Structure 1
Amino acid sequence: MAAESRAEQIADRLRRDILLGVLAPGAAIKERDSAQDMGVSRTPMREAIRILAKEGLVALRPSRSPVVAQPTLEDVTDAIDVLTALELLSVRLACERASDAEIAAIREIEREVAAQYGGLDPVARFEHDMGFHKTIAAAAHNAMLAETHGAYLARLWRARYLSTLNPKAKSGILVQHAAIAEALGARDAATAEAHLAAHLAQLRVNVRDFFQSTAVASAAGQRRPE
């Protein structure tokens, strides 16, 4: 296995651990210990950590172990603002530029996710959800847009995953994805953008609710008597 692909594989595993909270925000990632635990050398581990740092999931520290990033609500909502602009541009360009086969593939992904949603574990469900958005970005046929969209999607990975755990999120995601896919099928850019904007506005609400509930839980824990 090439060093680059090994680093990507390690990054995928660390990313999933961050997603699930196995590596909690603020937790140190000890390069040597992590490499030993995974049975790899420190070189690909170091590169994997750099990959995650570029995505904003890990914060590097001079002469100290890197830590899992702890973005604030303001950090996340700022990133959602940028992601929203990127996704609205993506869906508009996809309506104009995507081939019929690409549109059909997007609609098929939407149908498959809807059919399997209830039986999927939360991480698989989330990955299918993100796949839908990445496929639309790819169908825009703008390499720079797809690259930037991928970077912001990665930066929001954990916050977006946590927002999908909101009990209200499931039905909304399915309905909104169906509406976006239908508008794409009709190549109706204005309607597709409207549905996507509503979808991402709900993401903002879900993220805010998560941060607020976490703050309440933290405050209650601090007030608990010894």
Structure 2
Amino acid sequence: MSLKDLLDDDISAERPMSLAEQSADKLRQLILLEKLPPGLALNERDLSDLLGISRTPVRDAIRLLETEGLVDYSETRRPRVANPSLETLSHWLSVQGALEGLAGELACQHASDAELARIVQLQDEMVGCVDSDDAMKRFELDMSFHSSIVAAAHNPPLSETHRQYNTRLWRARFISSQLQTNRERQTRKHKAIVDALLARDAKVASQALIAHLKNAIVNIEVAMSQRAREAI
């Protein structure tokens, strides 16, 4: 499942992606992989040359990424790769933790056996590639795992709000997911979440998801501190 699929999981798969959406998907991955680093000014002409398309879909792609919080604007209104502060990320993750905690509680009540089986499958796939060098695959599986739990809650407003916050946090959560120690800890935490969901223990599932997101704040701080030291 691609990052675009995670955004549009409630839209018919038969709808073809527009050129702007395809461009946004490519730029989104470049931002997550930091080939377009935080704070970088986004020049439409350079990006159109990079993607081999005209400037109009590039402009539309930048607008799409702005709605996701991956792009913002300088004081002179020039688009750039967003670089939110750790404090801002912490605020967003606190909200996201509350949303996922509620999702876990509701999923225990409303998830079908097939939906729970899909969550277990995603967990198994994550375990299988924990040592993989494919950072994007690991990240997409992680995001699919969490999005599948939210979908299993069967609460459309919750799903929409979660999607909005998740896109804002993609880069930060991607950075966190790359820590080797975090991958091992993440595997244990995901198993605890799965066990609670399978037992349909709403309280434990909710607590496990909230704790998981709280731990993400610490991981992001560690990862960003490491990167700051390496840049010196």
Separation in 2 of the partners of 1:4 and 1:120? 28
Corresponding position of 1:84: 97
Q: For residues 137 and 16 of structure 2, what CA distance do their matches in structure 1 show?
A: 27
The residue that corresponds to 2:162 in the other structure is 149
**Using the alignment, how far apart are the partners of 1:3 and 1:177 within structure 2?**
33
Amino acid at match of 2:34: G
Gaps of 5+ in 2: 1-14
Query: Equivalent residue for 1:224?
Result: none
Q: TM-score, normalised by structure 1?
A: 0.90
Q: Which moved more, 1:38-47 or 1:124-133?
A: 38-47
Shift in CA distance, 94/120, structure 1 to aligned 2, threshold 3 Å: farther
- Note if contact 2:150-2:158 (Cα within 8 Å) is conserved in structure 1: yes
Q: Supply the distance in 2 between the matched residues of 1:217 and 1:35 (Cα, whole angstroms).
A: 31
Distance 1:4 1:186, change over 3 A: same
- The CA deviation at 1:180 is 0.7
CA distance in 2: counterparts of 1:73 and 1:63, whole angstroms:
24
> What SS does the aligned partner of 1:119 have?
coil
CA distance in 2, matches of 1:169, 1:159: 13
Quote the Cα distance in structure 1 between the aligned partners of 2:162 and 2:108: 17
SS of alignment partner, residue 106 of structure 2:
helix
Judge conservation of contact 1:138–1:146 (CA < 8 Å) in 2.
yes
Q: Could you give the per-residue CA deviations for residues 144-200 of structure 1, whole angstroms, max 9, x where no partner exists? A: 211111111110111111112222101111111111111111111111112212211
Higher relative contact order (CA 8 A, sep 6+): 2
In structure 1, how many angstroms separate the alpha carbons of the residues matched to 2:85 and 2:77? 22
1:77–1:204 contact (8 Å) kept in structure 2: yes
Identify the residue that residue 105 of structure 1 maps to in structure 2. Answer: 118
Q: Once superposed, what is the RMSD of the aligned Cα atoms?
A: 1.9
Write out aligned runs for 1:1-226 (5 A): 5-61=18-74, 64-217=77-230, 221=232
Q: Distance in 1 between matches of 2:77 and 2:217?
A: 33
Deviation of the 1:36 alpha carbon: 2.3
What is the rounded CA distance, in whole Å, between the counterparts of 1:190 and 1:106 in structure 2? 18
Partner of 1:59: helix, strand, or coil? strand
- Contact 2:125-2:141 at 8 Å conserved across structures: no
- How many residue pairs were aligned? 218
Q: Name the aligned partner's letter for residue 119 of structure 2.
A: I
Q: Distance in 2 between matches of 1:158 and 1:68?
A: 11
Question: Are the equivalent residues in 2 in contact too, given 1:25–1:70 (CA < 8 A)?
Answer: yes
Q: Which has the larger radius of gyration?
A: 1
CA distance in 1, matches of 2:106, 2:18: 31
Q: % of aligned pairs identical? A: 45
How many Å apart are 1:119 and its aligned residue?
A: 2.9
**3-state SS, counterpart of residue 180 of structure 2:** coil
Question: Could you tell me how far apart the structure 1 residues matched to 2:111 and 2:64 are?
Answer: 30
CA-CA distance at 1:215 after TM superposition: 4.1
TM-score normalized by structure 2?
A: 0.87
Contact 1:31–1:65, Cα closer than 8 Å, also in 2: no
**Cα distance change of structure 1 residues 201 and 61 upon mapping to structure 2, 3 Å threshold:** closer
Between the aligned partners of 1:41 and 1:62, the Cα distance in structure 2 is 26
